[in-house]
Every structure is written in C-alpha cells, then in structure tokens.
Amino acid sequence: LPEHWGKGQGTSIASRLIIQAQAAGIGSLYAVIDPGNAASRRILTRQNFVSTWTGDYDGLPGEILELNLQMKR
C-alpha cells in the first residue's frame, strides 16, 4: 500500500526474518520478487541477498535472490 512505502517497514521485517532464520539454524533464505520492483531489490541487496536467477516465474517476470546465512555468522 502506497501510504506505507518508504517508512522502513520492509527493511525492518527483512532484518527480523534474517535474525529468526539464523537463530533457527537455517542455512539460506530465498526471495522471489518482480524484477521491476526496485524498492524490493534495494531492501534485499542491502541485507546482502544476491540475485541468482531472473526469468519467467509461473507466467510472470520474476527474480530469485538468495542470502547464505552461514556466511553471515
């Protein structure tokens, strides 16, 4: 929702998710985004996610980003 854009909520949620995944011993996280969504990509790349694939995802443009949590410890 546009009224919530740019307020840091996505970054806060991503940070909390990463902390919880690390605590649970999860080795990697994956995110699927619309490659045209620069804000989503920015949130993820600032958290050290790396793009691993771009293409057709269930009939829509998609991009997969990965975060290797074993490297962040």
Residue 73 clears pLDDT 90, i.e. is over it: no
- pLDDT for the residue numbered 2: 86
- pLDDT for the residue numbered 42: 98
- pLDDT for the residue numbered 8: 94
Give the global pTM: 0.88
Q: Which of 16, 15, 26, 17 is nearest to 71 (CA)?
A: 26
Q: Please tell me the distance from the alpha carbon of residue 16 to that of residue 11, in angstroms, as a whole number.
A: 9
Query: With contact defined as beta carbons under 8 Å apart, do 44 and 14 qualify?
Result: yes
Q: What's the CATH code, domain 2-71? A: 3.40.630.30
Query: With contact defined as beta carbons under 8 Å apart, do 8 and 16 qualify?
Result: no
Residue 68 clears pLDDT 60, i.e. is over it: yes
Question: What are the extents of the domains in the chain?
Answer: 2-71
Query: With contact defined as beta carbons under 8 Å apart, do 14 and 27 qualify?
Result: no
- pLDDT for the residue numbered 21: 98
Q: Which residue has the higher pLDDT, 4 or 23?
A: 23
